[in-house]
């Protein structure tokens, strides 16, 4: 990934003003976490192209989008988040940088939506980069699941579903075939990643 090019896009004058929450998504630990996730996906999911990828609890997902798109083609992204503003930020970022908007945004509670196992079948891959913010999935056969969580329980009211290992993350989300498990110490907490199938 060419970080100079990415930072140039992030700092675009038409975009950057009054977007502190967006800038928070590019802190060092956020970059380390997304690199861990993207490296695991690219190393373990042997596909040059994915048709439909869902990102649950997406935040603005610009960093994830940029990192994964630099290494793998995703034809269409589906970003789910309950905060409408993060979708707005993404739209403005794409417009300011004259990028094709190959995504759909959904302002929805993913736990309710993904309770229907049939819904999972719409996607080749389901990524949850911040599983600590929501209840466990009810995975279905079909898509690859790439999940991340942490043991950072100090953030009360937001981190409602922390774990203490990648194995625990796997078990809580019912993944039976696992391609990858890892952890990364980020100082105040450890981030865990698991990739696999139901």
Q: Any idea which architecture 3-197 has in CATH?
A: 3-Layer(aba) Sandwich (3.40)
- Looking at the DSSP bridge assignments, the partners of residue 183 are 192
Task: Tell how far CA 66 is from the center of its chain.
Answer: 12
- Give the predicted TM-score (pTM) of the model: 0.90
Helix (H, G, I), strand (E, B) or coil at 12: coil
Domain ranges for the chain, please list them: 3-197
> Cα angle at 148 between 185 and 74, to 5 degrees?
125
The residue count for the chain: 198
CA angle 110, 43, 142 (to 5 degrees): 40
Q: What is the DSSP string of 98-111?
A: T----EEEE-S-HH
**pLDDT digit of tens for each residue in the chain (198 aa)?**
777 778 777 766 555 556 667 877 888 888 899 999 999 999 999 888 999 999 999 999 999 999 999 999 999 999 999 999 999 999 999 999 999 999 999 998 888 888 887 899 999 999 999 999 999 988 899 999 999 999 999 888 889 999 999 999 999 999 999 999 999 999 999 999 999 999
């Amino acid at each position: 990934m060419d970080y100079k090019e990415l930072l140039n896009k992030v700092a675009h004058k038409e975009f950057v003003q009054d977007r502190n929450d967006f800038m928070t998504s590019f802190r060092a630990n956020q970059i380390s976490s997304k690199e861990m996730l993207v490296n695991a996906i690219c190393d373990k999911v042997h596909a040059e192209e994915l048709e439909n990828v869902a990102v649950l609890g997406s935040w603005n997902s610009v960093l994830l989008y940029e990192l994964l798109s630099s290494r793998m083609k995703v034809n269409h992204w589906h970003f789910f988040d309950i905060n409408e503003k993060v979708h707005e930020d993404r739209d403005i970022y794409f417009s300011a940088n004259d990028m094709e908007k190959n995504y759909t945004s959904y302002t929805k509670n993913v736990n309710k939506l993904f309770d229907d196992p049939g819904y999972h079948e719409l996607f080749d891959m389901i990524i949850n980069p911040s599983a600590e913010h929501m209840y466990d999935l009810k995975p279905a056969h079909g898509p690859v699941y790439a999940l991340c969580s942490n043991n950072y329980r100090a953030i009360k009211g937001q981190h409602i579903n922390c774990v203490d290992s990648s194995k625990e993350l796997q078990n809580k989300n019912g993944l039976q075939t696992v391609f990858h498990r890892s952890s990364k110490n980020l100082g105040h907490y450890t981030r865990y990643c698991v990739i696999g199938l139901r």
